[in-house]
Each structure stands twice: as C-alpha cells, then as structure tokens.
Amino acid sequence: MRVCIVSDSHDHGDLLAIAIERARDWGARAVLHCGDVIGPNTLRRSLTLGLPLHVIHGNNLGDMPGMARLAQEFTGKLTYHGSEATVELGGRRLFMIHYPHLARAMAMTGEYDAVLCGHSHSAEIENVPNVRGGRTPLVNPGTVAGLGAPATFVLGDLGAMSFAVQPLADRA
C-alpha cells in the first residue's frame, strides 16, 4: 500500500492539496499528516481528493473543536487522532507523533513498522536501531508549507517499506 506523509501545513491548504494530488496520482491510498494543520479549512480541499486522511495536531493546536467537527462531517474520510496515533495500514503498524525526539524513542522500541513525525520542518528519513535488534524507519516529511525550509512531503510504499522525500516545487 502506498501512502502520502505530510506535516506542518500551517494553514497552507492549497500546498497540502497539491502534495496529496501528486501522491494520489502515484498511487497513494491514504494520507498521514504529522501535525500543525492549524484549522479545519486547511483540510477542506484535500478531503475532496478521495483519499482518507489521518491527522494529529502537533504543537500549533489551532482550532481543535473545529477539527473535531470536520472529522464528524467527513466520517470515514478524516480521522483526527489528537496528539498521537497508532494507525494500521497495508498490514503495517505505524506510529505518528509531532515531535522528533519522542518519535525517535518510539522507533527504538521496535513495536512499530515505521514511526512518523514532523515539527522540525526538515525532511529526513532514518533507519533507527531498535531494542529488538532490527531497525525502524523514522520518517519526517518536513514542511509541506515550505516555512523556513523547502516545501516537501514523503511518498511511502508500505509493502516495500520504502520512503522518499519529494520536493513540492509548485506553489498554489
């Protein structure tokens, strides 16, 4: 199963939608947003693109009641998890949290097939050694909004457990 991994959209809904459109065209079947959406209107265009969204809130909480209402309005298309999430997709167990230092700790447990985070606005994919003797992919897609860094997102293939940072050169 292919997925789109994004973070730190910071109310830039058009850029978020461009990333999701590209991922959908690549064959992604779900979107994982690692926080700092800000408000529900950021997601409205993306929710029309046909992929289910899994979202956590991050440190810029924005309009949490509005996000909860949007999740109710788009039941089945939007799951708003709160501060962290364990999501099972494509036979894989994924953990999402906004903060990289906490994500690293979760990757080290070896309990997840991959751990996803955001916050730093710096895209990075690292295979972290875990206590079970294996390695866990730690995926930070950077900032889809391009705030303080180039706008990026990640395409992930959960079957192959491969992840690739993608630039978002076009601006909406």
Any idea where the domains of the chain sit in the sequence? 2-167
Classify each residue of 88-122 as buried b or exposed e, where b means 16 or more C-beta atoms within 10 Å of its C-beta.
Answer: ebbebebbbbbbbebbbebbbebebbbbbbbbbbb
Q: Categorize the per-residue pLDDT at 105 as very low, low, confident or very high, splitting at 50, 70 and 90.
A: very high
Question: If DSSP states are collapsed to H, E and C, what string results for 36-94?
Answer: CCCCCHHHHCHHHCCCCEEEECCCCCCCHHHHHHHHHHCCCCEEEEECEEEEEECCEEE
How high is the pLDDT of residue 171? 46
Fold classification of 2-167 is Purple Acid Phosphatase; chain A, domain 2 (3.60.21)
How high is the pLDDT of residue 169? 79
pLDDT digits (tens, 9 = 90+) for 154-166: 999 999 999 999 9
For residue 1, pLDDT over 70 is answered with: yes
Interval 90-108 mean pLDDT: 98
Interval 99-118 mean pLDDT: 98
What pTM, to 2 d.p., does this model score?
0.96
For residue 147, pLDDT over 60 is answered with: yes
How high is the pLDDT of residue 170? 53
Interval 121-126 mean pLDDT: 98
For residue 172, pLDDT over 50 is answered with: no
Q: What angle do CA 101, 31, 25 make, to 5 degrees?
A: 130
How high is the pLDDT of residue 12? 97
**By the 8 A CB rule, do 34 and 5 touch?**
yes
Q: Categorize the per-residue pLDDT at 115 as very low, low, confident or very high, splitting at 50, 70 and 90.
A: very high
pLDDT digits (tens, 9 = 90+) for 25-82: 999 999 999 999 998 999 999 999 999 999 998 998 888 889 889 999 998 899 999 9
How high is the pLDDT of residue 36? 97
**By the 8 A CB rule, do 103 and 89 touch?**
no
